[in-house]
Chains A and B, each alone.
Chain A
Amino acid sequence: MIIKNIIQILRELSKQKMRTMLTLFGIFWGTTSVILLLSFGIATKSSVSKTMHGMGEQICIIWAGKTSISYGGFPKGRQLSWYNDDAHYLKDNVPLIDDISPQYDRWLPVNVGAKKQNFSVNAVWPDFKEMRNMIPRQGSRFISSLDQEKRRRVVFIGNEVEKTMFGEGVDAVGRLMYIDGIPFTVVGVIIEKEQDGSYNGRDKDAIFMPTSTYLAIYGDRYVNNMVARAKDITKTEQMKKAIIAAMAKKYRFSPEDEQALPIWDTTEMDQFLGTFFNGFTIFLGIVGVMTLIVGGIGIANIMYVIVEERTSEIGVKRAIGAKKRLILFQYIVETFVIASIGTTSGFLFALLMIFAINKAPLDDFVGTLELNPFIAVTSIFIISMITFIAGWGPAKRASELDPVVAING
């Protein structure tokens, strides 16, 4: 009986081509636009987020400052400097530190063949890599602990440095580069990355070597700055306090002195970004809900019109003996069929569009579109529900009218 009914319903659906197509198209389009719009939003969000994290994640950059409070017999205004072994000192005395690296920095002449130019040359520990997102290009590497141990004359260079010194499209890995007249082997090149934040130039324009090699050549007494990261981001604040306390003890400045040891805490930016992204997510959510509402109103409207229009047909069916529950059953089956076909085709079309957009050279503008399965499923569910609910009221009402009332509208 039920199967016979379903066959009959499908037959009726296929006969009412105009209505069926109209509804199908409404649902199809609603699904496609909601999914595409949200994918665009998410792509924008993730491409912004990627750029923001170009410099590194959840790190603290530590400089030496001037004291602003007189302390331990010293007057205020004393210029402080951090020594080569302070990174070791901190690592040994502040257990909250996960990674730390000193950073030296000089502006030095570099030449490859006849090509000569000045670059920012940095010396760091291998830990620097993780903290600062120094991702080596495939087939190359960052400075290793062995380089550090053996004071190897090796460098890791920015992709722009490679391009400038070796020329477009040339792989510099394994080649020689003269820094201040001394030959270095290039062991790695940084992958192209978007970087919005920096404190001494962009990584793509810089050269990095082991501190051991650097100190053997230049013998600096002081570091330019240090970079540190906590074991657990939620402990960053405590780590900062512990670093200040340790250094205050060693160099005898007040632990309350804000200016003696300036720290740039990028987690603060992350927190700001977090807030920003929460805002953006809410915005996206609102856009999504709006799109759903607009798409839903369109579909609801079509459903409503169709069921209203169908009221007299429902009346006729009731007049010749259709029971209420049959009318409602028919409505449910119809809606289910239409909503499934509509949302599925809409979903597939959105997928196709995403694929096409990602293929097209547009990713500078829109980023890479990704289909979020949760959003897809939710949109499809909500659209189906809207479709169903929009028609349910009028269908139920029509089925409850006296047949003659339904027939006459």
Chain B
Amino acid sequence: MIRMEKIRKIYSTGKVDVEALRGVNLHIKKGDFVTVIGPSGSGKSTLMNIMGCLDKPTTGDYILNGTNIKNLNDNQLSELRNHEIGFVFQNFNLLPYASAYENVEMPLLFAGVGGKKRKQKVEAILNKVGLSDRMDHRPNELSGGQKQRVAIARALVNDPNIILADEPTGNLDSHSGREIMELFVNLWQEGHTIVMITHDPRAKEYTDNFVNITDGKILREELVA
């Protein structure tokens, strides 16, 4: 499903060039639950953003479902982000003026999903993440865990093939963190493909499929084909 070959990412900020990824090769199969670990600044988020088509690699090839990302134009990339990928951010990135319902609805609007079907899907997914009684709340009226559930619902609403999460529990207390982890595990068990960055040691309880990044390189690939 995901294939990365010799991915390099160089950030040029003024005088200094930072090489955040130094030739990453990676395979992820459909149905995998992959955890990305590594010290701070090692390039985990950089890798994740490239995987989510939120950023482009400087060099190297990223093949998603058999398509090389390089060959896609901006509209096609937007559609890919909309249909294929569900991205969950560490700091939620919800639109502050929109309710939980409206935040979740947004990808469907971009996809042009019609009114009735849209309503059904949004309500079903919010129900699934346990927020059916918080639909009209704005992000500032929700707890961190609830916000992350909204963000997960938003990532899931368009039935993506792959869910990418960058430290989804990083801003949560341990209780909400556990709940969110369990939510991901459930999604995985339902057959979703999940890639998650985490510092959370409990991740080991759920998966032993780790990608360990240090200094822009994958150290060892455990159970990654």
Q: Which of A's residues lie within 8 Å of B, judged by CB?
A: 1, 4-5, 8, 11-12, 15-16, 312-313, 316-324, 326, 402-405, 407
Cβ contact of A321, chosen from B94, B98, B110, cutoff 8 A: B110
Q: What is the bound-complex CA distance between A321 and B78, given in angstroms? A: 5
A316 touching B95, Cβ below 8 Å:
yes
**Residues in chain A near residue B110, CB distance under 8 A:** 317, 320-323, 326
A319 touching B55, Cβ below 8 Å:
no
Which of chain A's residues has its CB closest to B83's CB? A321
7 contacts between A and B (CB under 8 A): A15-B97, A317-B95, A321-B82, A321-B111, A322-B110, A323-B75, A404-B49
Which of chain B's residues has its CB closest to A326's CB? B110
Query: Any chain A CB within 8 A of the CB of B173?
Result: no
Q: What is the bound-complex CA distance between A324 and B79, given in angstroms? A: 11
Query: Any chain A CB within 8 A of the CB of B158?
Result: yes
- The 8 A CB mask of B42-81 against A (1 = contact, 0 = none) is 0000000100101110000000000000000011001101
Contacts of B150-197 to chain A: CB distance below 8 A: 154, 158
B56 touching A319, Cβ below 8 Å:
no
**Residues in chain A near residue B95, CB distance under 8 A:** 313, 316-317
Which of chain A's residues has its CB closest to B79's CB? A321
CB distance from A317 to the nearest CB of B (A): 7
Query: Any chain A CB within 8 A of the CB of B100?
Result: no
Q: What is the bound-complex CA distance between A403 and B98, given in angstroms? A: 19
Q: What is the bound-complex CA distance between A11 and B105, given in angstroms? A: 13
Cβ contact of B98, chosen from A12, A319, A326, cutoff 8 A: A12
Q: What is the bound-complex CA distance between A34 and B202, given in angstroms? A: 65
Apart from A5-B109, A321-B107, list 18 A-B contacts with CB within 8 A: A12-B97, A12-B98, A15-B97, A319-B81, A319-B93, A320-B82, A320-B110, A320-B154, A321-B83, A322-B82, A324-B75, A326-B110, A402-B54, A404-B49, A404-B54, A404-B55, A407-B54, A407-B93
A318 touching B78, Cβ below 8 Å:
yes
Q: What is the bound-complex CA distance between A319 and B98, given in angstroms? A: 16
**Residues in chain A near residue B125, CB distance under 8 A:** none
Which of chain A's residues has its CB closest to B56's CB? A402
Q: What is the bound-complex CA distance between A318 and B109, given in angstroms? A: 12
Query: Any chain A CB within 8 A of the CB of B106?
Result: yes
Q: What is the bound-complex CA distance between A367 and B207, given in angstroms? A: 84
CB distance from B222 to the nearest CB of A (A): 27
Query: Any chain A CB within 8 A of the CB of B33?
Result: no
Cβ contact of A402, chosen from B55, B94, B154, cutoff 8 A: B55
CB distance from B82 to the nearest CB of A (A): 2
**Residues in chain B near residue A8, CB distance under 8 A:** 109
**Residues in chain B near residue A320, CB distance under 8 A:** 81-82, 87, 106-107, 110, 154
Cβ contact of B112, chosen from A1, A313, A318, A407, cutoff 8 A: A1
**Residues in chain A near residue B106, CB distance under 8 A:** 317, 320, 322
Assuming the contacts A321-B82, A402-B55, A405-B55, asked whether A4 and B49 have C-beta atoms less than 8 A apart, the reply is no
Closest 3 CB pairs of A and B: A321-B82, A404-B54, A15-B97
- The 8 A CB mask of B89-132 against A (1 = contact, 0 = none) is 10001110110001000110111100000000000000000000
Q: What is the bound-complex CA distance between A336 and B206, given in angstroms? A: 52
Assuming the contacts A324-B78, A404-B49, A407-B93, asked whether A319 and B109 have C-beta atoms less than 8 A apart, the reply is no
**Residues in chain B near residue A321, CB distance under 8 A:** 78-79, 81-83, 107, 110-111, 158
**Most chain B beta carbons < 10 A, residue from A322, A323, A404, A407:** A404
**Residues in chain B near residue A403, CB distance under 8 A:** 54-55, 81
Q: What is the bound-complex CA distance between A12 and B95, given in angstroms? A: 10
Q: What is the bound-complex CA distance between A324 and B77, given in angstroms? A: 11
**Residues in chain B near residue A322, CB distance under 8 A:** 78, 82, 106, 110
**Most chain A beta carbons < 10 A, residue from B52, B81, B112:** B81
B74 touching A16, Cβ below 8 Å:
no
**Residues in chain B near residue A404, CB distance under 8 A:** 49, 54-55
Which of chain A's residues has its CB closest to B106's CB? A320
CB distance from B165 to the nearest CB of A (A): 13
Q: What is the bound-complex CA distance between A359 and B33, given in angstroms? A: 77
Which of chain B's residues has its CB closest to A11's CB? B102
Which of chain A's residues has its CB closest to B98's CB? A15
Which of chain A's residues has its CB closest to B105's CB? A8
CB distance from A301 to the nearest CB of B (A): 21
**Residues in chain A near residue B89, CB distance under 8 A:** 407
**Residues in chain B near residue A16, CB distance under 8 A:** 97
Q: What is the bound-complex CA distance between A320 and B81, given in angstroms? A: 6
Q: What is the bound-complex CA distance between A17 and B49, given in angstroms? A: 32
Q: What is the bound-complex CA distance between A405 and B13, given in angstroms? A: 13
CB distance from A5 to the nearest CB of B (A): 8
**Residues in chain A near residue B154, CB distance under 8 A:** 320
Q: What is the bound-complex CA distance between A402 and B106, given in angstroms? A: 19
**Residues in chain B near residue A318, CB distance under 8 A:** 78, 81
Which of chain A's residues has its CB closest to B45's CB? A404
CB distance from B163 to the nearest CB of A (A): 13
Q: What is the bound-complex CA distance between A293 and B78, given in angstroms? A: 38
CB distance from A403 to the nearest CB of B (A): 4
A319 touching B54, Cβ below 8 Å:
yes
CB distance from B62 to the nearest CB of A (A): 14
A319 touching B97, Cβ below 8 Å:
no
Which of chain B's residues has its CB closest to A325's CB? B75
Q: What is the bound-complex CA distance between A4 and B113, given in angstroms? A: 11
CB distance from B24 to the nearest CB of A (A): 17
B56 touching A323, Cβ below 8 Å:
no
